[in-house]
Amino acid sequence: MDAIEQILDLARWAPSGDNTQPWKFEIVSDTHVVVHGFDTRDHVVYDLDGHPSQMAHGALLETIRIAASQHGLGVKVTQRPDTPETHLLYDVRFEADASVTPDPLAACITTRCVQRRPMSTRPLGDTEKAKLAAAAQPCSVTWFESFGARWTIAKLNFANAHLRLTLPEAYLVHRSVIEWKARYSTDKIPEAAVGVDPLTGSMMRWVMQSWERVDLFNRYFGGTLAPRLQLDLIPGIACAAHACLVFPRQPTSIADYVTAGRAMQRFWLTAESLGLRLQPEMTPLIFSRYHREQRVFTKMSVKQAEAGVLAQRLEAIMGRDEATKAAFLCRLGWAETAASRSLRLELDQLKVARSEGR
């Protein structure tokens, strides 16, 4: 495996929403790769305007840079302006550079994963917070650390989970992204990594076979209560802190979201290097933006209204200006590495044939 393939083999471990891996690699030469960046906006309610996928592209490009540093290579990335948003092309060119030194975050690329279970509430120290803040540039970091602050975010996520779990458009996503009875998955979330106990997992596996079952359990049997408690409320309290990466301005362009994604990956890898585990909490930001921009995301008007309430709660917590600039929300804390996790497709499965005229 040559240097370029070694770099891409490491970079494919970048995070993406529900392990969708919205990218392919076209190796043009030993100094030039075209990254084909896709999104899932046409069938994933969470991928609003493809921006979450664009953040994943940013995380991938940052991971390429970090991986390339191990070979003494500098990286220049250019997004082609003449491609549709649903199929972006990024020209990635490598050049030997004596000033490039190996980035120590490379050691954390394959170990970084999502920890959805409760963590230690031991507070972060000033040194850890300073390193995380530096990694998040150009974003600033807003921390929610006290018990009261963690409780506030936990309640927000608990309410947000009710919307997620009673929304037919979200059900279609959840049904497709979980690999049941699995500890690992190359292209989905394995059941063992979802974060619920075995009994709740068995119930979810049976209920999620159809929307009619989901709707019945939600209406008459409190079907959302157990997963909301286990996935949102309890873990939301059982952590060191919640953190929000706030962009310098309201992100609007593809370049903004790619930049935010690069910051997110540096923040996450730095957390991993410090022994911290992390779980993204993105859907409150997404539903709030749906409401803020008066975008219809469901055929159920009551769910549109529910998103409005969530948006108001988020703005009450963060302030309207900061809420509109929020790019990434997560919880983090001290914990063991997750016993179950999403893996990745093999590099050969992510390659595409070279196009003419490159």
| Mean pLDDT across 96-125 | 97
The reply to whether 63 falls in a domain is yes
- Indicate if 75 and 21 belong to the same structural domain: yes
pLDDT per residue as tens digits for the range 173-219:
999 999 999 999 999 999 999 999 998 899 899 999 999 999 998 88
pLDDT per residue as tens digits for the range 289-301:
999 999 999 999 9
* Sign of the dihedral defined by the CA atoms of residues 166, 170, 172, 173, in that order: negative
Q: Is this model's pTM higher than 0.75 or not? A: yes
Task: For residue 152, give its domain range.
Answer: 126-166+224-337
pLDDT at 209: 94
- Indicate if 17 and 135 belong to the same structural domain: no
pLDDT at 223: 80
Task: Using pLDDT thresholds of 50, 70 and 90, give the confidence band for residue 356.
Answer: low
The reply to whether 300 falls in a domain is yes
pLDDT at 202: 92
pLDDT at 257: 98
Interacting residues of 110 by C-beta distance below 8 A, sequence separation 6+? 10, 13
Predicted confidence (pLDDT) at residue 108 exceeds the cutoff of 70: yes
The reply to whether 62 falls in a domain is yes
| Count: domains in the chain | 2
Predicted confidence (pLDDT) at residue 320 exceeds the cutoff of 80: yes
- Indicate if 245 and 130 belong to the same structural domain: yes
- Indicate if 246 and 152 belong to the same structural domain: yes
The reply to whether 187 falls in a domain is no
Task: Using pLDDT thresholds of 50, 70 and 90, give the confidence band for residue 347.
Answer: very high
At residue 233, the 3 state secondary structure works out as helix
pLDDT per residue as tens digits for the range 5-46:
999 999 999 999 999 999 999 999 999 999 999 999 999 999
pLDDT at 221: 78
Predicted confidence (pLDDT) at residue 358 exceeds the cutoff of 70: no
What are the CA-CA distances from residue 135 to residues 13, 155, 160 (Å)? 19, 28, 28
pLDDT per residue as tens digits for the range 37-78:
999 999 999 999 999 999 999 999 999 999 999 999 999 999
pLDDT at 295: 96
- Indicate if 149 and 45 belong to the same structural domain: no
pLDDT at 311: 97
pLDDT at 262: 98
- Indicate if 324 and 282 belong to the same structural domain: yes
Query: What CATH number is given to the structural domain containing 293?
Result: 3.40.109.10
- Indicate if 9 and 72 belong to the same structural domain: yes
**Picking from 218-227, 294-303, 310-319, which range would have the lowest pLDDT averaged per residue?**
218-227
Query: Residue 39: which of 61, 18, 8, 62 has the closest Cα?
Result: 18
Q: What's the DSSP call for residue 300?
A: -
- Indicate if 131 and 62 belong to the same structural domain: no
Share of the chain above pLDDT 90, in %: 93
Is 310 exposed, middle or buried (CB count within 10 Å of its CB: 0-12, 13-18, 19+)?
buried
Predicted confidence (pLDDT) at residue 273 exceeds the cutoff of 60: yes
The reply to whether 212 falls in a domain is no
- CA atoms of 335 and 326, how far apart (whole Å): 26
| Mean pLDDT across 253-281 | 98
- Indicate if 77 and 134 belong to the same structural domain: no
- Indicate if 108 and 130 belong to the same structural domain: no
- Indicate if 290 and 146 belong to the same structural domain: yes
The reply to whether 179 falls in a domain is no
- Indicate if 314 and 267 belong to the same structural domain: yes
Tally the residues of the chain.
358
- CA atoms of 135 and 272, how far apart (whole Å): 12
